[in-house]
């Protein structure tokens, strides 16, 4: 279950915008949550409509501290000044770009099979494994010539993308399929690669 923005920033539902801004810097230094999660929490509590949702999803609220009538000195204190930390410059743009890339990876790619194959191999060589997986999976799903050289190479590159992209179970599953391939060289490659993949997943 996703953490509530109040819990991420460590503030109460009675927190002012100034307190939320101050809590952002503290949460960043504490590093209990990823930077994008902290930024999203702060952004949610700054927007009245999103803050209402956070209040609704937090059924157990801590007691709200109220000022004693005999001591209102805290009201005379000026609100903390918003200080923009240089290390967070461009944070929102980075989050937006990551969200856009994730959305594009889920969408089907309207390009030719040959382009899918080429882009998939290139992405894998450049270390862009999530993108390589998307291209190569789309190519393998669309290719009807399952015994062609390109199809075999696409599956081998896909195994590498799975492996480097942290999806070892999928890499092993695909490699096991290739151990029964009709081409002897493909069989040999898969049988040699399978023990290394299995050994790698045992260390995870």
Task: Give the CATH number of the domain where residue 146 resides.
Answer: 1.25.40.10
159 within a domain of the structure (yes/no):
yes
Contacts of 86 (CB under 8 A, 6+ apart): none
pLDDT at 58: 58
CATH code (residue 51): 1.10.287
Average pLDDT score over residue span 169-193:
91
78 within a domain of the structure (yes/no):
no
Contacts of 13 (CB under 8 A, 6+ apart): 6, 55, 58, 61, 62, 64
82 within a domain of the structure (yes/no):
no
Q: Based on the fold, state whether residues 24 and 95 are members of the same structural domain.
A: yes
pLDDT at 61: 43
d(CA 117, CA 105): 15
More confident residue, 201 or 91: 201
Q: Work out how many domains the chain is built from and give that number.
A: 2
d(CA 161, CA 166): 8
d(CA 161, CA 171): 8
The pTM (predicted TM-score) of the whole model is 0.47
Q: Based on the fold, state whether residues 122 and 194 are members of the same structural domain.
A: yes
Q: Based on the fold, state whether residues 9 and 102 are members of the same structural domain.
A: yes
Q: Is the pLDDT of residue 87 over 80?
A: no
184 within a domain of the structure (yes/no):
yes
d(CA 39, CA 85): 13
Q: Based on the fold, state whether residues 18 and 103 are members of the same structural domain.
A: yes
């Amino acid at each position: 279950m996703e953490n509530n923005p109040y819990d991420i920033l460590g503030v109460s539902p009675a927190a002012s915008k100034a307190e939320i801004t101050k809590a952002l810097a503290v949460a960043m230094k504490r590093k209990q949550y990823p930077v994008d999660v902290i930024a999203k929490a702060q952004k949610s509590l700054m927007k009245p409509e999103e803050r209402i949702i956070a209040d609704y999803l937090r059924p157990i609220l801590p007691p709200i501290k109220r000022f004693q009538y005999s001591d209102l000195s805290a009201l005379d204190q000026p609100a903390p000044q918003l200080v923009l930390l240089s290390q967070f410059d461009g944070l929102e743009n980075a989050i937006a770009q990551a969200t856009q890339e994730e959305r594009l990876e889920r969408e089907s790619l309207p390009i030719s099979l040959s382009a899918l194959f080429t882009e998939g191999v290139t992405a894998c060589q450049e270390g862009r494994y999530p993108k390589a997986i998307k291209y190569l999976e789309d190519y393998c799903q669309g290719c009807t010539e399952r015994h062609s050289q390109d199809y075999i190479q696409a599956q081998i590159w896909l195994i590498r993308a799975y492996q480097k992209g942290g999806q070892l179970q999928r890499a092993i599953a695909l490699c096991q399929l290739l151990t029964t391939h009709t081409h002897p060289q493909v069989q040999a490659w898969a049988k040699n690669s399978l023990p290394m993949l299995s050994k790698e997943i045992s260390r995870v």
